[in-house]
Amino acid sequence: MKSSKSSGKISRNESVLGSDQEPETTELISNMHQGVSNILVAVRCRPLTKKEKEVDDFKTVQILDGKLVIITEPPGPVNKRLNEKKYAFDFAFGENVSQQEVFNKTTMFLLEGVLSGYNATVFAYGPTGAGKTYTMLGEVDKLGIMLMSFIELFTRIEVLSNEREYQVKISYLEIYNEIVRDLISPSSGYLDIREDPDKGITVSGLSELVATSPQEVIECLRLGNKRRTCEPTEANQTSSRSHAVLQILVEYREKNTGIETEKATGKLSLIDLAGSERAANTKNRGIRLIEGANINRSLLALGNCINALYEANLKGTKTYIPYRDSKLTRLLKDSLGGNCRTVMIVCISPFAMFYDDTHNTLKYANRAKNIKTSSERNVVNVTYHISKYKDIINDLRKEVLELKKVLMKKKNSPKNLDGFENADKYESELEGHMQKETKTKKMYFEAVKSWDELQEMILTRECELNDARYTHGNDNNVVLSINDQVNRLKKSIAEQEDKVGKMNSQFENLEKVRKEIQESWEGLPEDLTKTLKITLQQHIIALSELENEQLKLHEKNQLKQKDIYIQILQNQLRDRIDNLEAHSLNNQKSLKQEKFFLKNFETNDGNAKKNKVFNYRLQGIKSKNSYVRSEDTLPPLSPKYVLNKNPHKKESKIPRYNSKYQEDISSASSLTDLNLIHPNSSKNIHKKSTGKIKRKVKKPFDVSNSEPEFTRPKQLPKISDKFYMSPYVKRSNEQKKNPFAKQHNVKYGVMIRGIEKFN
């Protein structure tokens, strides 16, 4: 038996079976297949449990766009401000993401490789109680990755059984306190890890079960898990204190080849790691503390190996990888790095009390993510990739030239015409198509650029509009003119979004055509296919380079918009503080008027005249505030804040009350005790009360409680990290759909689509 993990070939079956993957996964697979990336890092955040919700329902984790994890430090007595940190990963799964989706995106694609002789590893990492066992093993009606892998494996084997003869073997072990134990046959005692020159890493005496159906495996896992070392800890009632390693060996040989073929073996290691929490947090003592130390030791060793592999990858030299530092890493020696594909599923909890552990886990995962040598999604690394793409394109160009020379020879050779007669046709079809794709992509980016510009314009105009309304009132010509501009801008934005959406679907159609073109190469001579594929790869990389540049520009525009928006919010805040006291007074006044009106007139239907007078008066009071009540607009902004570089120099237009009034307010027992009217107000409809102001109870004036409701925008508009949509633009339901939603290429970096591994 020999492992063929390093063959480097992707078989036909592998690419055929890969077609049912999600588009984003396809890109990641593509990167993995090319060896440019051998670790995929996904984060999964579980929901708060009922018990946790009762203690504190604040969630420290938010997932955005299926890739971004935002961790917020819970507010405490010292830190009143919420500190946020953002991390981007290949995938980020929120609390509602199903087991199936996690499996589809993180593991399903590995099975093709395992069925063709590759090794792959999926491990769940994270603190105690964060959902590792749930993800890997699952629950009765929510099967985890281990069982879903088996179901999928057996389904695929059935499809492939005409061509290949397969045998599936499983072993299940745990590493507890640096001791290896068989979970299938526990009587075998403590086991040793050995390195066999032929077989690679083996565990002597470990039982291997030949599995013929998923049901057998389910039973075996059920029994194995019963034997696993679990103990209740402070953080989890059924905490797994050991690393559980399920290894699936898939052996196959080709059928009907007529000649003797070697057996090839692919190995899938599925690992439910023990919790990564810090000992101090779990209040562990005695044996639990030793366990914790051993757990941390092996996790540290795992982290060190991952780091060393990264270094080795980067330098392109042989580097010492400290596999021997722990049993876990020794066991995984042939399942990490090299041609092996590794998936790390980082489980985290949003519970406020686990904040530190969650944050440390994300930092660990972030380091692992950097093992990638390309396809980095973090925009910070964009420049690095652009330079890299240029090198890759140059290399590919050289390769294409070489191949074309060979091709020319073959084409011109009278002996070997077979299959080459249509070479020119295929080449020009591909070139023509890729030119179309590039043109569409360029048009798409032009449209996004215009959209960005429009967003910036509307933001500025809305600012001016609010201010003009405040200064001149609603019916003023200046206001009407700005309003008109805003409406026109809204229309243009909606049109532009439409355009972007259309272009995006155009591009997606072109991608489908590209796939068809690729499929039409089936059966062509190897040299020709190779040339076509390299030419295609070259185009795709050029396309990615273009995307990267545009992405940078778009990010810049977004930041600009966010800056404007932040300034608007800051101004509002300052205005609110500035206006607070005046509004409080107005509020009181309006409340009293309203009460008075209701008492005297509302029930008296017959007294139309009085009603009219009072309505008129009340409207007069309301009209001043009507625009801030609207859901579409924000509180008034003074130009001094928006446009003036030194906002504090000018006087606020809102009159301040003098110190006497401040004194009255602070000494009033409640706001209803006050009967204050601003002395400068020309719109007073009540005479100043002759009654005495109560000064009995000294109570400080509570600013936050007395802030009038209408000064707050009903709902603060969200700023998406991906595409910032103006909060001012009213959209129909159709328009609300983000036209960029399907745009996988423009996210946290560049993804290269459609590249397949080939020889």
As measured in angstroms, the least distance from the Cβ of 639 to ligand ATP is 50
Known binding residues are: 126-133
The correct pick among 69, 111, 130, 148 for binding ligand ATP (CB under 6 A) is 130
Helix (H, G, I), strand (E, B) or coil at 385: helix
Backbone torsions φ then ψ of 559, nearest 5 degrees: -60, -40
Per CB under 6 A, does 47 bind ligand ATP? yes
Residue 736: alpha-carbon gap to chain centroid:
20
**Which one-letter amino acid corresponds to residue 657?**
Y
Give residue number: closest CB to ligand ATP. 131
As measured in angstroms, the least distance from the Cβ of 128 to ligand ATP is 4
Distance from the first to the final alpha carbon of the chain: 25
Stretch that binds ligand ATP, among 187-195, 238-246, 543-551, 632-640 (CB under 6 A): 238-246
Q: Which residues contact 405 (CB under 8 A, 6 or more apart)?
A: none
Q: Which residues of 310-342 are buried (b: 16+ CB within 10 A; e: fewer)?
A: bebbeeeeeeebebebbbbbbbbbbbbbbbbbb
Q: Which residues of 470-503 are buried (b: 16+ CB within 10 A; e: fewer)?
A: beeeeeeeebeebbebbeebbebbbebbebbbeb
Length of the chain: 759
d(CA 292, CA 297): 8
Per CB under 6 A, does 66 bind ligand ATP? no
Per CB under 6 A, does 239 bind ligand ATP? yes
Stretch that binds ligand ATP, among 123-131, 406-414, 604-612, 691-699 (CB under 6 A): 123-131
Stretch that binds ligand ATP, among 124-132, 421-429, 448-456, 601-609 (CB under 6 A): 124-132
Per CB under 6 A, does 121 bind ligand ATP? no
Per CB under 6 A, does 236 bind ligand ATP? yes
Residues in contact with ligand ATP, counted by CB under 6 A, come to a total of: 17
Per CB under 6 A, does 128 bind ligand ATP? yes
Per CB under 6 A, does 754 bind ligand ATP? no
As measured in angstroms, the least distance from the Cβ of 275 to ligand ATP is 3
What would the x/- binding string for ligand ATP be over residues 186 to 215, using CB under 6 A?
------------------------------
- In terms of CB distance, is 135 or 544 closer to ligand ATP? 135
Nearest to 63 by CA among 665, 740, 736, 722: 722
Residue 374: alpha-carbon gap to chain centroid:
18
Q: Which residues contact 146 (CB under 8 A, 6 or more apart)?
A: 136, 137, 138, 221, 246, 270
Per CB under 6 A, does 224 bind ligand ATP? no
The structure tokens listed for 679 are 């002395």
C-beta of residue 350 within 8 angstroms of C-beta of residue 95: yes
d(CA 227, CA 222): 9
Per CB under 6 A, does 138 bind ligand ATP? no
User: Between residue 249 and residue 308, which ones bind ligand ATP under the rule CB under 6 A?
Assistant: 274-275
Per CB under 6 A, does 133 bind ligand ATP? yes
Per CB under 6 A, does 533 bind ligand ATP? no
The correct pick among 42, 145, 345, 347 for binding ligand ATP (CB under 6 A) is 347
As measured in angstroms, the least distance from the Cβ of 352 to ligand ATP is 16
Residue 294: alpha-carbon gap to chain centroid:
32
Stretch that binds ligand ATP, among 131-139, 152-160, 245-253, 719-727 (CB under 6 A): 131-139
Per CB under 6 A, does 240 bind ligand ATP? yes
Stretch that binds ligand ATP, among 67-75, 83-91, 234-242, 354-362 (CB under 6 A): 234-242
d(CA 583, CA 712): 12
The correct pick among 5, 46, 514, 583 for binding ligand ATP (CB under 6 A) is 46
Known binding residues for ATP are: 126-133
Q: Which chain residues interact with ligand ATP by CB under 6 A?
A: 46-47, 126, 128-134, 236, 238-240, 274-275, 347
